[in-house]
């Protein structure tokens, strides 16, 4: 399997090269030259496999030329080392909880898988690899945990000042060791733009051996299919609809590429907050440039979702084909809070703001299709947003055991302005 740039100005590369470089030289995201296709009979046969066996079956074609099968299977086993519960809300709605990993967020799977692949691919080199990543909240914590003390790797995380939760900031700034945190006086889009510019700086790329751990990296993006393989295995039939809280659109792009391989999920919803460039695109077929808006679901506060171009490629840039299997909705903070209260009052379910947005997307869709059943995705533990959850629900949350010891650890961070020169100067000084 090779990967080509979605800007179509660079030569195809192997999985290993796409992993190590993160972004193509022409600024494009890498995309596989082929999406493996499996028939309905194949999927029936897959029912007998364990999740780790099925995950290997689906991802192995993307990687097999670069990581031997036994090692790849071991990486999958280590990645899928925690539960992914599916909780019943009512007769027509369930929730897939992806926050039971070490950093209480869905990105634990992609970050762990990528760290294992990267560690393997650089093991015989003498040069330190710098993993450069921008985060709107959960990516940074998951990457920090996944890459902590990985030999030959230094991690530099950019996050927007005042736009991540207190717990998210603790997870970004308290590891030390090979993990460095940069607090940027700007938005996530500023952080992401600085990271992308760094990858275009050939001098810096060569000196620091840069790669990315954002979902622009294929090794972070593709293993997110594992969530939906697990979800499908838990049902006895095709799933009508899945609603995914969407910011940079890597998670939902992974679901859609699995669907393109034949995964029996019929419809997909991109549930967004007030940053609604994609819901607006679905209405007008035009991208309207705007700045990001700060919301209570901060991990989705992204005005320029990088991975949407991958979704367009999955559907060969055919708008009608895309909208036949995908819908997109936007909800305000007030609507999000109302949804949190509704779930708590009626079902005793505590949702974080991102999960509440996904619930709203699913509920909105099912209003016109009462005969269907669906699943919404809960991507972060409610305690990661304890201030807003406790205030909205008028209840007290207990910190999970996984983070109780983290709450009072001193932070280590460097403050920088939202300018590329500041980032470059920092990287060259370390």
Contacts of 48 (CB under 8 A, 6+ apart): none
| 218: nearest Cα among 23, 51, 54 | 23
Burial tier of 92 (Cβ tally within 10 Å: 0-12, 13-18, 19+): middle
CA gyration radius, the chain: 20
Instruction: Give the Cβ contact number of residue 236 at 10 Å.
Output: 6
What are the tokens at 345?
């009052």
Please tell me what DSSP assigns to residue 400: P
What are the tokens at 2?
């090779």
Per the CB < 8 A criterion, the answer to whether 234 and 226 are in contact is: no
Per the CB < 8 A criterion, the answer to whether 25 and 3 are in contact is: no
Per the CB < 8 A criterion, the answer to whether 359 and 95 are in contact is: yes
Max Cα–Cα distance, the chain, nearest Å: 60
- 272: β partners: 330
| Cα separation, 96 vs 91, whole angstroms | 15
User: Measured in Å, how far apart are the chain's first and last C-alpha atoms?
Assistant: 36
What are the tokens at 221?
């993006």
| Cα separation, 255 vs 253, whole angstroms | 5
- 377: β partners: 96
41, 88, 107, 363: the active-site residue: 107
> Where in 238-373 does DSSP place strands (E)?
239-245, 265-272, 326-330
Three-class DSSP category at 47: coil
- 239: β partners: 265
Phi-psi region at 120: left, alpha or beta (left = phi > 0; alpha = psi -120 to 50): alpha
Contacts of 371 (CB under 8 A, 6+ apart): none
Is 196 in the active site? no
Catalytic residue positions, numbered: 107
């Amino acid at each position: 399997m090779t990967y080509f740039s979605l800007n179509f100005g660079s030569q195809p590369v192997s999985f290993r090269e796409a992993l190590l470089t993160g972004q193509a030289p022409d600024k494009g995201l890498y995309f596989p030259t082929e999406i493996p296709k499996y028939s309905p009979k194949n999927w029936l046969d897959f029912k007998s496999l364990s999740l780790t066996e099925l995950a290997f079956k689906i991802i192995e074609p993307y990687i097999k030329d670069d990581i031997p099968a036994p090692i790849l299977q071991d990486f999958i086993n280590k990645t899928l080392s925690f539960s992914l519960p599916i909780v019943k809300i009512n007769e027509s709605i369930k929730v897939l909880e992806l926050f039971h990993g070490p950093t209480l967020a869905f990105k634990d799977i992609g970050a762990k898988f990528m760290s294992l692949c990267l560690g393997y691919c650089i093991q015989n080199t003498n040069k330190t690899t710098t993993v450069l990543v921008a985060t709107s909240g959960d990516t940074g914590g998951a990457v920090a945990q996944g890459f902590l003390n990985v030999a030959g790797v230094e991690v530099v995380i950019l996050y927007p000042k005042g736009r991540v939760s207190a717990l998210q900031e603790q997870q970004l700034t308290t590891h030390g060791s090979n993990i460095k945190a940069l607090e940027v006086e700007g938005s996530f889009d500023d952080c992401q733009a600085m990271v992308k510019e760094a990858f275009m700086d050939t001098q810096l790329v060569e000196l620091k051996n840069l790669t990315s751990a954002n979902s622009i990296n294929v090794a972070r993006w593709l293993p997110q299919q594992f969530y939906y393989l697990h979800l499908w295995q838990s049902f006895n039939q095709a799933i009508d609809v899945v609603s995914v809280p969407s910011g940079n659109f890597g998670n939902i792009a992974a679901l859609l590429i699995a669907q393109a391989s034949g995964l029996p999920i019929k419809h997909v919803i991109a549930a967004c907050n007030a940053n609604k460039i994609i819901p607006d695109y679905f209405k007008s077929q035009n991208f309207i440039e705007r700045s990001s808006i700060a919301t209570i679901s901060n991990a989705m506060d992204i005005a320029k979702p990088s991975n949407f171009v991958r979704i367009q490629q999955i559907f060969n840039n055919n708008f009608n084909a895309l909208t036949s299997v995908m819908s997109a909705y936007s909800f305000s903070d007030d609507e999000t809070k109302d949804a949190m209260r509704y779930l708590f009052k009626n079902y005793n379910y505590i949702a974080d703001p991102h999960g509440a947005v996904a619930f709203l997307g699913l509920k909105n869709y099912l209003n016109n299709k009462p005969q269907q059943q669906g699943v919404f995705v809960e991507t972060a533990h409610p305690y990661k947003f304890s201030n807003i959850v406790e205030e909205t629900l008028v209840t007290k949350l207990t910190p999970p055991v996984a983070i109780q010891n983290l709450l009072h650890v001193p932070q280590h961070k460097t403050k920088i302005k939202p300018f590329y020169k500041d980032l470059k100067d920092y990287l060259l000084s370390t």
